[in-house]
Structure 1
Amino acid sequence: MTKSFTLAEYLQNLEFLVNIDSGSYTPAGTKKVMEFFQEKFNLLGWNTEIHKTSDKVGPCLQISNCPDEEYDVLLLGHMDTVFPEGTAAKRPYAIDKRAKVTGAGVSDMKGCLLMTYFALKELDQSKKLAGKRICFLLNSDEEIGSLYSRTLIKALAKKSSYALVVEAARPTGDMVNSRSGIASCDLTATGIAAHAGVNPQDGSSAINELAAWILKLHALSNYELGTSINVGIINGGSARNVVAEQAQAQVDIRFKQHSEFERISTALHELEQQSFTAGGAKITCNTILNRPPMNPSPQTLKLCKNISDLGKSLDIDFNWVATGGGSDGNYCAALGIPTVDGLGPVGGGGHSVHEWLDANSVKPRLNLLIKTIEFITNSPVK
């Protein structure tokens, strides 16, 4: 099906991209990745617009084949990784005899961005996008919750009929139509310091208060409903022999339904009104909703069925699954935009030293993405 695509060229470009450090807080690196794609799309004659959202992160790149303010399809991907500077040198691009590609950000999600470029290039050069309106947004801070770019993402989503998130397909080859909502909560415990041996009764331990909260927070999880609370980082105190005057914790909250987030928020507020430690140690919490849940609408489920049928026509079998991880698709789905995720090549091990991408899956998934864009722009889901 593909004409201009060759796996050799894809892998050569992928090596260049993977060997760039582009962590969320490495703006020079994400800018370098952005410039790579800007040059590629400029050569196709597409419009490119740079959005600087914060000095703390690199710029975003908005790419479109038309000057229109509305789009048939919005494609979403991110240029940033979770890794610190120096990771690319320690864990550079590599490929083994089984065509398993490794390296920082190889599947999350540089290989996905690159596949999307080749898909759009193929559609463009075969004149299949004539009269169609496509937008491709490359985000630079997705791994930190799209903290600075979410306003731009929402604005583009509101102008788009459909959203396709080109994150990697699951290791099984499955795609994603449901993602958890994500919230973060920072706990600050304040107590009264005292000598742990001379007059401990005069103190009130911030650590003890934090410990009481941790037990109560984990008890709020409801795995059957997809609600989980994890206290991921704790610290506090000043010395072994001092009743702790301060302590902190960072909490991750995941939920499938917004009503569960409201339940957790109410519980946190109620806990703030109490003290579980003699002497009155207290905790205040700062809760931020990072991403709303991504739940499939009836129109999204119809689109999933259509994509599954397209996959079968290409001898690609997969299922649709839910995942606890978030993506920029969460914002689109919450606005009522039919949104599907995981349309990139098959990969896994994201956020770890074991990250990989299956090079043998690139061409089949490229063809499926092409078919999907063609289908949506020619016969929108009713």
Structure 2
Amino acid sequence: MPNSGRISGNVVSARKGGASFEIIVKGKAAHSGVNHADGVSAIGGLALIITELHALTDYETGVTTNVGLINGGMSSNTVAAEAKAKLDLRYITKEQMVDAMDAIQAIVDMPRLQGVTASVRLISAFHPFESSMSDGLLAHYQTQAESLGFSVEGEFTGGCSDAGFTSSMGVPTLCGTGTVGAKMHTEGELCLLDTFVPRTQAVAKSVLLLP
């Protein structure tokens, strides 16, 4: 199924790339009342790491970092021996991807608290879908859409898709050619059914009439 079109009616001509990481921090357990000083908090170490990871966000360049899930410890009266976090990274170019991944690794590797160790592993990654790989195909699609009675523009979005893989291989790519929709990944997710037929026709004509 094609990715849904934007609520504006536009198709997607460029996307951010994204990567997901798991960070594991290990400390030393201790009773927080009896022998607090003997423990080293993995949660405390993770908190320091998260602060620096979030500082990598730069809205002007389009790079964002988000630790959206954390867990650790066993009880409130125990100094936590382990803590984990899931990190989301977004970027616009391959160069940003490489630089950000290097920065993440350096932050995790940096010693902060004696007795705390940290590691990071890449879970998944999407290449960015850069606009240079959609220009020609977008113009072709727009011609077919106009022949069917509707106009459409290309639009940039921060979400990832497989379009990043095809475009990174040098394959002309266009995304978001499905039915117009909105509020993805929420209970209010929707698609406009009256856009199903014309959008499908535009894709079919675009494929059949490729130069």
* TM score, norm. by length of structure 1: 0.53
Structure 2 match to 1:227: 63
Q: Give the secondary structure class of the aligned counterpart of 2:60.
A: helix
Quote the offset at 1:198 in angstroms. 2.4
Structure 1 match to 2:178: 344
**C-alpha separation in 1, matches of 2:178 and 2:124:** 27
Q: Give the secondary structure class of the aligned counterpart of 1:340.
A: coil
Does structure 2 retain, via aligned residues, the 8 Å contact 1:294–1:333? yes
**C-alpha separation in 2, matches of 1:373 and 1:198:** 71
Out of 138, 159, 166, which is 1:332 matched to? 166
The equivalences for 1:24-35 within 5 A come to none
Residue by residue over 1:86-122, the C-alpha shift from the partner in whole angstroms, topping out at 9 and shown as x without a partner, is: xxxxxxxxxxxxxxxxxxxxxxxxxxxxxxxxxxxxx
Structure 1 counterpart of 2:119, one-letter code:
T
The equivalences for 1:139-150 within 5 A come to none
1:186 paired with 2:22, answer: yes
Q: Give the secondary structure class of the aligned counterpart of 2:37.
A: helix
Q: Give the secondary structure class of the aligned counterpart of 1:341.
A: coil
1:177 paired with 2:22, answer: no
Instruction: State the superposition RMSD in angstroms.
Output: 1.5
Quote the offset at 1:296 in angstroms. 2.6
Structure 2 counterpart of 1:221, one-letter code:
T
**C-alpha separation in 2, matches of 1:339 and 1:222:** 27
**C-alpha separation in 2, matches of 1:327 and 1:271:** 28
Unpaired segments ≥5 residues, structure 1: 1-76, 78-165
**C-alpha separation in 1, matches of 2:80 and 2:123:** 27
**C-alpha separation in 2, matches of 1:369 and 1:307:** 7
1:357 paired with 2:191, answer: yes
Aligned pair count reads: 211
Out of 114, 132, 135, which is 1:297 matched to? 132
Quote the offset at 1:248 in angstroms. 0.4
Quote the offset at 1:291 in angstroms. 1.1
Structure 2 counterpart of 1:333, one-letter code:
S
**C-alpha separation in 2, matches of 1:263 and 1:305:** 33
**C-alpha separation in 1, matches of 2:201 and 2:109:** 57
Structure 1 counterpart of 2:15, one-letter code:
R
Structure 2 match to 1:286: 121
Q: Give the secondary structure class of the aligned counterpart of 1:176.
A: strand
Structure 1 counterpart of 2:129, one-letter code:
M
Does structure 2 retain, via aligned residues, the 8 Å contact 1:176–1:341? yes
The equivalences for 1:31-110 within 5 A come to 77=1
Structure 2 match to 1:263: 99
Structure 2 counterpart of 1:334, one-letter code:
S
**C-alpha separation in 1, matches of 2:31 and 2:42:** 14
**C-alpha separation in 1, matches of 2:123 and 2:76:** 33
1:199 paired with 2:35, answer: yes
Q: Give the secondary structure class of the aligned counterpart of 1:297.
A: helix
Structure 1 match to 2:151: 317
**C-alpha separation in 2, matches of 1:269 and 1:366:** 44
Residue by residue over 1:323-378, the C-alpha shift from the partner in whole angstroms, topping out at 9 and shown as x without a partner, is: 111112211111000000111111222222112121111222122122211221xx
- Give the fraction of aligned pairs with identical amino acids, expressed as a percent: 32
More contact order relative to length (CA 8 Å, sep ≥ 6): 2
Out of 188, 208, 212, which is 2:48 matched to? 212
Q: Which moved more, 1:221-230 or 1:337-346?
A: 221-230
Does structure 2 retain, via aligned residues, the 8 Å contact 1:192–1:244? yes
Q: Give the direction of change, closer, same or farther, for the CA distance of 1:375–1:284 in structure 2 (3 Å limit).
A: same
**C-alpha separation in 2, matches of 1:321 and 1:258:** 19
Residue by residue over 1:156-198, the C-alpha shift from the partner in whole angstroms, topping out at 9 and shown as x without a partner, is: xxxxxxxxxx211111111001111111110001001112122
Residue by residue over 1:231-250, the C-alpha shift from the partner in whole angstroms, topping out at 9 and shown as x without a partner, is: 01100011111111100001
**C-alpha separation in 1, matches of 2:74 and 2:123:** 28
Does structure 1 retain, via aligned residues, the 8 Å contact 2:136–2:172? no
Structure 2 match to 1:168: 4
Q: Give the secondary structure class of the aligned counterpart of 2:89.
A: strand
* TM score, norm. by length of structure 2: 0.93
Does structure 1 retain, via aligned residues, the 8 Å contact 2:54–2:66? yes
**C-alpha separation in 1, matches of 2:109 and 2:64:** 23
**C-alpha separation in 1, matches of 2:99 and 2:151:** 39
Q: Give the secondary structure class of the aligned counterpart of 2:159.
A: coil
